[in-house]
Structure 1
C-alpha cells in the first residue's frame, strides 16, 4: 500500500473521532505498514480535535502560501525571458511546500519557516541592490518592508501552530519517547488518552 493511501486512510479514521493511539493500535498489526513508517505518518498528521484557533491560523497560513506561490509564478514568468534556473527551482520548491502546508503536513512546517526566512533575506538583498537614485526607490522600499512584515507575521503564526499542533517535533523530526519510539502525540494528549 502506498504512503499516500495510508495517509488518506489515517485521516478518514481520525475524522471519525478515533484518537491517534486508537489509529496506531488498529493499524500496527497490518503487514503492509512498518511500525516506524506508521509512527512517522501519525506524527505528520494533526489530531482531529485540534483547537479552532489553530484551524483558523492554518487557513490563514494556507492563504498566504497560495499568494506566495502566485508571486513566485509572476517571478518565473518575468524570468522566462532570461531563463533563470534559480527562479524555476524556487517556484517548484514553493509550490511543493504550499501543497504540503495545505494538507497540514507537520513534516514541512519547519522547512517552510526556513524557506520564508530565506525569502526575507532574498527580498532584502534585492532591495539593497537597487540604485538609491532610482525614481521608484521609495515604492520599492515600501513594498519590501510590507512584504517582510507580512512574511514575519506568517512565520510567527507557523511557529505557533507548529508548537500547538506538532509540539512533539524537535527540529525536523518527531522526538523519541522513553521507549525510543517516534512520538506522534503531544505529551499532554498522550496522558489524557492513557487508559491506566
Structure 2
C-alpha cells in the first residue's frame, strides 16, 4: 500500500510542479535556459510545383525551394545516345507526382528573397531532395560558403551516378552552367512560371 501512496504523491508533485509559476516558461523568461535553434517546422501543406526544385503552397502562395539540390531548367534537354530528351520536363513531372494530392511537410532553413529554402518530405518520400538525387532526377547544388554539405545527399548522388540512373545515363550540362549560357531564355521561362 505504501508504494501506491508514494506513486500517487509523485504524480501529484509533478502536476503541481508543472502548474507552478516556476514552470518551463518562467525559466525561459529568466534567460538561464538553453533553447536550441531549430529549423521552423511548418504545418503540412498542399503545393503546386513551380519547377524542378520549387513549389508553391496553394493556400498562402509562399514559394519553397528544396535545399542542397539543383535540377534541369524547364526547357533544358539532355541527350541519350543521339536522342535529346526534356530533362526539365522530367524533373518537374517527378516532383508533381511526388507531391500531387499529398501533404508536404517542410522544415524551413532560411528565408530568401521570394522563397523559403527548406528540407521537405511527404508520406512516400522521407526527404524529397535525397530521393531526387537517388533517382538521378536532380544533382547536388554547389555548396555556398559556410553551407553544410549533407552526407546523405552526397551518397545518394554517388549511388545514382554509379548506377547510371536518370540524368547520369545521359549527356547533360549542369543546370547552373546551362542557365548561365541561356540566361535570357531561363529568365523568361521563370517569369512565365511565376505568373501562373
Q: Which has the higher contact order (CA 8 A, sep 6+)?
A: 1
- Greater fraction of residues in helix: 1
TM-score, structure 2 as length reference: 0.22
Larger Rg belongs to: 2
- Greater fraction of residues in strand: 2
